[in-house]
Structure 1
């Protein structure tokens, strides 16, 4: 049975999505042609993840130059804002977690999936203070739990509660972005916190957090590489080059933790011990968009629809490039 309490969540997210999109659209012609006559591919990245590593290594620029493209990098604090820019045509390619694309698709954003990242469920989990009486999922009933609404953590929490027969209505959600949730967690204003690495690792090491479960059995917690649909149709060769270079830089990251850890620690302003924990429990890389992976996405979309968080059914297959 669907409940109605989730609609304000979606309406807030989508209102912000559309407002920012209109602003961004006014600042961009949505054209890949640069003043010097070459093609430009505008890549949106966040301060964590495969595209940050790619940017730091600087390998994709040479590959793209060979086929007549230059690169423009644009930094974003979170996936939803990145997808707003993608919708507005202000960037051409970006990477987010598994849930933001579903919200964007529900808002009819013209995006397409290009590739998937490797599963990283070990770094996502439900945290409680070390001295908390909460020992298992069953103990979360009636508790105040912090997480980012519409995020991969939102989905993880729903599935974890479901596994022990607790409905979403039987907890008190505190919709908080990681920075605010960290403060609330340390001050005891929330009983539990659902989040992803490197925030998970940092809390475990620096805030005496204890993980009661990770994402295993609940979510693969993949990320996805997404493109503006119009750009993807016209410039698929360039996008394919970027994905190839993401894979190469991911292989480098997997094999060179001694260089990767200090590089990420400096950029993210997080201690090396936390970065070490986070990179050692994940594998970087790219997977093709197999039927199994898209079915994972469909289950997330269906879950958010059944909770009335998005207002209509989303078919994730509609956001694939048709060959």
Structure 2
């Protein structure tokens, strides 16, 4: 009788246990760093192109240096930031690898709407907002050189990209070398006019790149292939659907629609990074060396690893 009672108690207990369930498929989360700029809007389209079994977490950063440092410290798996930040890091021996492009263009030299400044040569003697160590700084210094001028011919004013439009509106500066959407805001509000889109140098329209840690490329090449395929699809989609890109930028950046619409034509979201872009990057690095922004050129053999996007370009 005792054994029977024990059996009945055990059976009753078993009946209260939850039914066995099939374990859910594990999901791999990819941490993607993105700047709070329209240049870096593509990651916000990643979700619709992410395959099953993966999730992309977009982590925003205020500056290119912050984004680059996050990749170096492995706080994110991949990141978008300017070629300037990538070159600075690589020249200092940091394990940064450029694996694709993120955005070309996106820069502009802007002056007050009623200003007599109509060309780069007119910046002589003027107060010009420039963010030190930025991609824009290298471009404007090269454009000044091409016009027979140097930084000594202007009064450079250290102002962050997000403050440049307001500085121009207040009259704190006569012009600025900015990043979208600031030029678009200045145009849309009637505060400023475009002096030049500074793409007429040997550096072309080179701007933002897609970077990774060297360890990630060596240890997780399959993850790199997945995220770059997502990035390719998202970038192509955004460029083919400008209204969607504008709407996403308005939503994520908090800017007015008319300002973003003015910025969008000056933004080229991209993923291809071939021989032309590598050559432009090397020219860019040489300018940084001459400007003493870096002490030595980076090791280009380890800085660039574009095998995946090269294969994608061949198959496109």
- What runs of 5+ residues in structure 2 fail to find an aligned partner? 1-24, 308-316
Change (3 A) 1:266 1:125: same
Q: Is the 8 A contact 2:103 2:209 kept in 1?
A: no
**2:26 aligned with 1:43:** no
CA distance in 1, matches of 2:108, 2:40: 23
**2:68 aligned with 1:83:** yes
Matches within 5 A, 1:43-82: 43-49=32-38, 52-63=41-52, 65=53, 69-82=54-67
**Among residues 175, 191, 209, which one is paired with 1:208 in the alignment?**
191
CA deviation string 1:220-252 (max 9, x = no partner): 133210001101111111111111111111222
CA deviation string 1:160-183 (max 9, x = no partner): 101110022222211211122222
Q: Is the 8 A contact 1:94 1:227 kept in 2?
A: yes
Q: Is the 8 A contact 2:129 2:156 kept in 1?
A: yes
CA deviation string 1:268-312 (max 9, x = no partner): 111111211222343322113x22211111111111111112222
Q: Is the 8 A contact 2:78 2:210 kept in 1?
A: yes
Matches within 5 A, 1:1-323: 39-49=28-38, 52-63=41-52, 65=53, 69-117=54-102, 119-120=104-105, 123-218=106-201, 219-288=204-273, 290-321=274-305
Offset at residue 320 of structure 1 (A): 2.3
SS of the residue corresponding to residue 275 of structure 1 reads: helix
SS of the residue corresponding to residue 243 of structure 1 reads: helix
Change (3 A) 1:43 1:118: closer
Question: How many residue pairs align between the two structures?
Answer: 281
Structure 1 runs of 4+ aligned residues shifted over 6 Å read none
Change (3 A) 1:286 1:151: same
CA RMSD of aligned residues (A): 2.2
State TM-score, norm by structure 1: 0.80
SS of the residue corresponding to residue 269 of structure 2 reads: coil
CA distance in 1, matches of 2:83, 2:149: 23
Change (3 A) 1:71 1:216: closer
Q: Is the 8 A contact 1:124 1:221 kept in 2?
A: no
Q: Is the 8 A contact 1:144 1:174 kept in 2?
A: yes
Change (3 A) 1:175 1:221: farther
CA distance in 2, matches of 1:319, 1:242: 19
- What runs of 5+ residues in structure 1 fail to find an aligned partner? 1-35
CA deviation string 1:60-100 (max 9, x = no partner): 5435x1xxx54333211121101111111211100112211
Change (3 A) 1:296 1:274: same
Change (3 A) 1:260 1:293: closer
CA distance in 2, matches of 1:70, 1:232: 19
CA distance in 2, matches of 1:252, 1:60: 10
Q: Is the 8 A contact 2:239 2:268 kept in 1?
A: yes
Q: Is the 8 A contact 2:131 2:137 kept in 1?
A: yes
State TM-score, norm by structure 2: 0.81
CA distance in 2, matches of 1:88, 1:114: 17
SS of the residue corresponding to residue 286 of structure 1 reads: coil
CA distance in 1, matches of 2:110, 2:199: 14
Change (3 A) 1:51 1:175: closer
Offset at residue 202 of structure 1 (A): 1.0
